[in-house]
Amino acid sequence: MTELLPVDRYLVDSLPTIWFGVVVFSLAMYVALDGLDFGIGMLYATRDEHERETLLSAFGPIWDANEVWLVAFGTTLLAAFPPIYARLLSGHYLLSIAIVMGLLVRGVAPELREQRDDPDWRRRCDRLFVFGSTVTPLLLGVLVGSWAFGTPTLSAPSLLTGVGLVALCVTSGAAFVAAKTSGSLADAMVRYGTTATVVYLVGVVALLAVAALANPSNVRALLLSAPALGAVLATVSFAGAGLAAARLGRHRLWFGTAFGLSFALVGLVAALLYPRVHPASGLTVDAAVVSPLALNLTTVLGLPVLALVLWYFKFLYGTFAGPVDGANA
Amino acid sequence: MSATGALIDGTVLLAENNILLSPEFASRVQFGWTITVHILFAALSIGLAPYIVYFTWKDVRSDDPAYARLREFWINVFAVGFVMGTVTGIPMSFQFGTNFPRFAEVSGELIGGPLAFEAKMAFFLEAVFLGILLFGRERVSDRTYVLSSILTGVGAWLSGFWILVVNAWMQTPRGFELVRRNGMEIARLTDPVAAFFTPRMPWMYVHMMNASVIAVTLVVAGIAAYFVWRKRDSEAWNTALRMAVVVLLITAPLQALHGDAYGRHVADTQPQKFAAMEAHYETGQADLHLIAIPRSLDALTDPRTDTLFTISLPGLGSFLASGGDFSAEVVGLHEYDENPPVALVFWSFRLMVGLGFLFVGLALWGGNRLRKGRLSDSGRYLRAMMLSSPLGYVALLTGWYVTEIGRQPWVVQDVLKTSDAVSRSLTATAATGTLVAFVLLYLALLAAFGAVLKWLIEGELERMGVRTVDDTSRPRLPWVSGDD
């Protein structure tokens, strides 16, 4: 294999940048897809027993596959930029451990709920499900905020990113459920989703203002760069289009804009992280990337599979397309 | 040597305040505990996958309601196990970053690729097609449905492959050179084929996959035996029991033979681990201890030939290690500065091997009864299978302990010590705190899984008509009632 793959140069010169892009793409897929799962989990708190079953029918077949994007993100980061993986996680020890524990509670609770037809048992599982679905995106947002702005865990930019991510997840979840149901449930989703979108926009504006004023890790210049401004513009456009689509009852289109919002947020994060991919230590993409042979190998074996994975998701979402089972019962 | 000192040679146990655990020790125990729980569910996916495929295929192909029952019951178990495997699997790779960041940074080029391939090639496959398998029976064709069960299984086995590529590299690292980068000496990939297919890889893959099948087969057999004991003419569960016995007849002897050759390979490639497995301290001829019984409490934590009552084969250790020479010199533990916790390795190894022979015995016993067509007649055999159902997992875990604890003090054999891999910024408070949290959370998880299994079994009893919903008179366990 060493004869087939160049040992001392990257397959293309921009390969490290391409892999920075793959890391970002995996994170965006995670935020967009598991984000809708978190959103469902939070909106779940507002529903009655019958509608909860409907939400779980929408959630059941897809959440586990969605969650794997977090693993894809983490392992891609490790495979391409090991020092960043090591510094990011060890630098946010309690936060990282709390996130995996939150994911555990979120994942197990609905599975356990379905195993027993006992109201007390179900109430307890439901509480854990809502708790895990709320806390995990909040902490994940704080982690991503700390990473992008190079700030401590308890700082305004980190916390605002956390709150913003929670609002974004509610938007995604509401749009997804609205697209798969009808009647009063879909109407309620439009109400919650609209509020969440407005909260999200306010959160993003506050975040940008705080970051520009406090200027942690000298992000002000980066915030005014074309990619960052583009991400902000995309955020405003997707949010506006989403609000209009929700109002017009075009729920599938609305979900599309929520997907776009997630990508715009991660795009903003990427604009802050390139090329200084770990602001807290100043490590750049070129300093952190693995050697040519390792990255060439990951490219040849990993990238085609990523295309296949996208096809799996098309198949999965296609199979469970249309109204949720029992939604109109 | 004090009892605790012997268990964890060379590792600082407590933090400076003598209350909290040291970051290193807490991290090691935390990783060990979280992998112990995770491996139960990972092995469940791997071992149950072939059964799921078979039951699904038979159910779709025939109208036999027995297979529909078996498919439904075991897919339920698989689904809950898979969720628990996912949520306990994510903390594993995270801990490479949180607790052992120097391991991630030093060996990132070697382990990052395989871990990323595991996620992309295997984990997605398993998760996506399990969604179809669980929720898509009415939404896809029979053919796609069977294919989904196969792809779910392929995902589980492929996942095991890439994880063991990483683990085998940690045992017998190849295909790299050490270079300086960002002020640290790191392993740079030089030969991917050598790095992925290390000498240990094929040994480990066969042994671990087979161990998973055996562990799950014993669970299947135990549960089937229980249902058969409750209702002797249950068609579905007699079928499952027969199947499990046949699978055990193939896998249990294979594991014993394979394990023997694997031991020789370990002696060649990791002599220190081999010495720890036999508690062989003085360099020279090594005996093989067939049976070892501690003569005192000290012998449990610090096994030595003079504190153990052993039945040994003189020179057989040398014979195995050298491949035929009874007097070959085997390097003893005294030759090394730091050793793994010998007691854990020594006793884990004995337990694993002893259980391996027990499984061969159970397989032959069942095979003999099967040949006579009287498998379910014997209350004694059914009882034995029920009692043995968790033992495959005990063997799997103890085998894993031999492999991983026996590699200490190295995290990557002869390249990086575990103590050097631990995070420098980790405080004793944080490390001890998360360890306690993981212990409590995972105990709750195990209890929940046990409860789910119990409910599934109760549900099946109701369906079989041997237990009604209001049935408060609990049946006595078979080994109490004795109904031969």
Quick check: B331 and B275 in contact, CB under 8 A?
A: yes
H helices present in chain A, as ranges: 15-43, 49-59, 63-80, 82-91, 93-113, 119-149, 156-180, 183-214, 219-223, 226-248, 251-273, 285-288, 292-319
Q: Is the model's pLDDT at B484 over the cut of 50?
A: no
Q: Do residue A294 and residue B109 have CB atoms under 8 angstroms apart?
A: yes
Residues of B in contact with A64 (CB under 8 A): 82-83, 86, 127, 130-131
Judged by average pLDDT, the poorest of A227-241, A285-299, B11-25, B419-433 is B11-25
Three-state DSSP at B176 gives strand
- Quick: pLDDT tens for A227-281: 999 999 999 999 999 999 999 999 999 999 999 999 999 999 999 999 999 998 9
Closest residue of B to A318, CA-based? B139
Going by the DSSP 8-state scheme, the letter that residue A283 receives in this structure is B
In angstroms, what separates the C-alpha of B138 from chain A's closest C-alpha? Answer: 10
Residues of B in contact with A143 (CB under 8 A): none
Of B94, B112, B129, the CB nearest to A100: B94
User: Is the bond into B91 cis (omega within 30 degrees of 0)?
Assistant: no
Q: Is the model's pLDDT at B459 over the cut of 60?
A: yes
Fold of A15-319: Formate dehydrogenase/DMSO reductase fold (1.20.1630)
Q: Does B139 touch chain A (CB under 8 A)?
A: yes
DSSP B369-391: HHHTT-TTT-HHHHHHHHHHTTH
- Quick: pLDDT tens for A292-307: 999 999 999 999 999 9
A residues 270-329 near B, CB within 8 Å? 283, 287-288, 290-291, 293-294, 297-298, 301-302, 305-306, 309, 312-313, 315-316, 319-320, 325
Q: Does A112 touch chain B (CB under 8 A)?
A: yes
Q: What percent of chain B has pLDDT over 90?
A: 70
Of B96, B98, B140, the CB nearest to A319: B140
Q: How far apart are CA B124 and CA A317, in angstroms?
A: 14
Q: What is the pLDDT of residue B310?
A: 78
Closest residue of A to B112, CA-based? A79
In angstroms, what separates the C-alpha of B425 from chain A's closest C-alpha? Answer: 7
Mean pLDDT of all residues belonging to chain B: 89
Q: Do residue B112 and residue A90 have CB atoms under 8 angstroms apart?
A: no
Q: How far apart are CA B335 and CA B268, in angstroms?
A: 16
Q: How far apart are CA B352 and CA B397, in angstroms?
A: 8
Q: Do residue B89 and residue A320 have CB atoms under 8 angstroms apart?
A: no
Of A79, A90, A96, the CB nearest to B113: A79
Q: Do residue A104 and residue B87 have CB atoms under 8 angstroms apart?
A: yes
**Amino acid letter at A254?**
W
Q: Is the model's pLDDT at B7 over the cut of 50?
A: no
Q: How far apart are CA B462 and CA B455, in angstroms?
A: 10
Of A82, A108, A309, the CB nearest to B105: A82
Mutate to test the interface with B, among A37, A92, A100, A112 (most CBs of B within 10 A): A100
Q: Is the model's pLDDT at A329 over the cut of 60?
A: no
Place B2 in a pLDDT band, splitting at 50, 70 and 90. very low
Mutate to test the interface with B, among A71, A136, A293, A316 (most CBs of B within 10 A): A71
Mean pLDDT of all residues belonging to chain A: 93
Q: How far apart are CA A185 and CA A179, in angstroms?
A: 11
Which residue's entry shows tokens 């999200």? A200
- Quick: pLDDT tens for B177-214: 999 998 899 999 999 999 999 999 999 999 999 999 99
Q: Does B112 touch chain A (CB under 8 A)?
A: yes
Residues B306-334 have a mean pLDDT of 79
Dihedral pair phi/psi, residue B312, rounded to 5°: -120, 155
Q: Does A95 touch chain B (CB under 8 A)?
A: no
Q: Does A62 touch chain B (CB under 8 A)?
A: yes
- Quick: pLDDT tens for A133-167: 999 999 999 999 999 999 999 999 999 999 999 99
Residues B279-304 have a mean pLDDT of 81
In angstroms, what separates the C-alpha of B349 from chain A's closest C-alpha? Answer: 32
Q: Is the model's pLDDT at A89 over the cut of 70?
A: yes
- ipTM of the shown complex: 0.93
Residues B440-466 have a mean pLDDT of 94
Q: How far apart are CA A99 and CA B82, in angstroms?
A: 20
Q: Does A16 touch chain B (CB under 8 A)?
A: no
Q: Do residue A61 and residue B135 have CB atoms under 8 angstroms apart?
A: yes
Q: What angle do CA B180, B182, B183 make, to 5 degrees?
A: 65
